[in-house]
Every structure is written in C-alpha cells, then in structure tokens.
Amino acid sequence: MRLSSAAIESETLEMRLFELAKRLSPIKADEKPITLPEKLKIRPHLVIPSNPWETYLNLRKDSPHRYWKFHANDLPNISIRDFDLPEDSEAEESEQSAHQTFDMLTEIQNSVKTASEQDRAELSSLGASLTKLSAQIRESEASAALRLIGLRTKLNILLWLLAAILVLLALKFR
C-alpha cells in the first residue's frame, strides 16, 4: 500500500509531537526534561512525569491537529529509518488528477460532438421536411386560389343568368 504525501505528513507530525512528549517527560530518571516551549503554550498539568505516552495523549486531546500543524516548526525534528519516501508523490497525484480531468474532458467533448452531429442530422431532416411542407402549402394555396377564381367566375355567370331570367319573367308577367 502506498501512502499519500498528506498521510505521510500527518504521521510525521504525530511522530514529532510524540518526540516532544518524550523530551518533556523522559522515561529514564537520569534524563532531564526540557522546559516547556513558550511558543507552544503547553499547560503544565498536561505533562505527566516519566510517562511520555500519557503526555502525548494529553497534548493530542488538548489541541487539535491543525494547531500542531501550524506549530510544526516548533516541534523537535525526528529521523525516520528504513522508510523510502515516495519521490514527489504530490506531483504524481497531480499528474494523475490532470490525466483523469483530461480524460473526463475528452469524454465530454466526444459526447457533445456526437450529440451535436445527431442534432445536426435531425435539424437537417427537419429542415428538409419543412421545405417540403412549405412547397405543399404553396401548391395548395395556388390550387385554392385557382379554385376560388373558378368559383367566382361560375358565380358571376350564375348571377348573370339569374338576372336574365328575372328580366324575362318580369317582361312576361307585365
């Protein structure tokens, strides 16, 4: 299992905090505890003599992780043996993230391209249908106009015939 750089940083911070607890509360009677660092503002009742583990737990419980992260430069340094740190894992994670983002963008671009091609084909088909429908409407309008002209002509003829019949009837009954 490979640890991320954030996990390694967090574990290193915990180790440095434990190192501080060991120096504040050494187990061996011949070792002298260090004085409480002023910058860290550690309350004396948190330090349990000759018990670094309890001191560490008290320090962890008393202050949140972000406090110790902020004051990391004031904590003692530690050395880690037999542990290979990943080389620039942040850059690797960033590169992997960039590849994932690029892949997602490519996928989105392809789906948009496919959808636009389908839309373009559909719009082209609809445009052809509209053109055909428009031509049919024009033809039916022209046909209706011709029929209307024909009906008017027939109506005019019928009206003239009716008028002529009425005139003849009027002359006959006079």
Q: Which of left, alpha, beta for 71 (phi over 0: left; psi -120 to 50: alpha)? A: alpha
Q: According to the model, what pLDDT value does residue 18 have?
A: 93
Q: Does 58 fall in a domain?
A: yes
Question: What is residue 14's DSSP assignment?
Answer: H
Q: For residue 153, what are the CA distances in angstroms to 3, 42, 72, 103, 146? A: 96, 112, 105, 74, 11
140 located within any domain: yes
Predicted confidence (pLDDT) per residue in 36-45, tens digit: 888 888 888 8
The C-alpha atoms of residue 153 and residue 140 are separated, in whole angstroms, by: 20
- Tell me if 94 is assigned to some domain: no
**Residue 123 pLDDT > 70:** yes
Give the total residue count for the chain: 174
Name residues whose C-beta falls within 8 Å of residue 16's C-beta, 6 or more positions apart in sequence: 72, 75, 76, 77, 78
From 53, 87, 121, give the residue that closes a domain: 87
Domain span including residue 23: 5-87
Mean pLDDT to the nearest integer, 76-90? 68
**Is 60 a domain residue?**
yes
- pLDDT at position 58, please? 92
Structure tokens at 58: 């008290």
Amino acid at 161: L
Q: Is residue 119 one of the residues assigned to a domain?
A: no
Q: Is residue 47 part of a domain?
A: yes
The helix-helix angle for 89-172 and 5-24 (nearest 10°) equals: 140
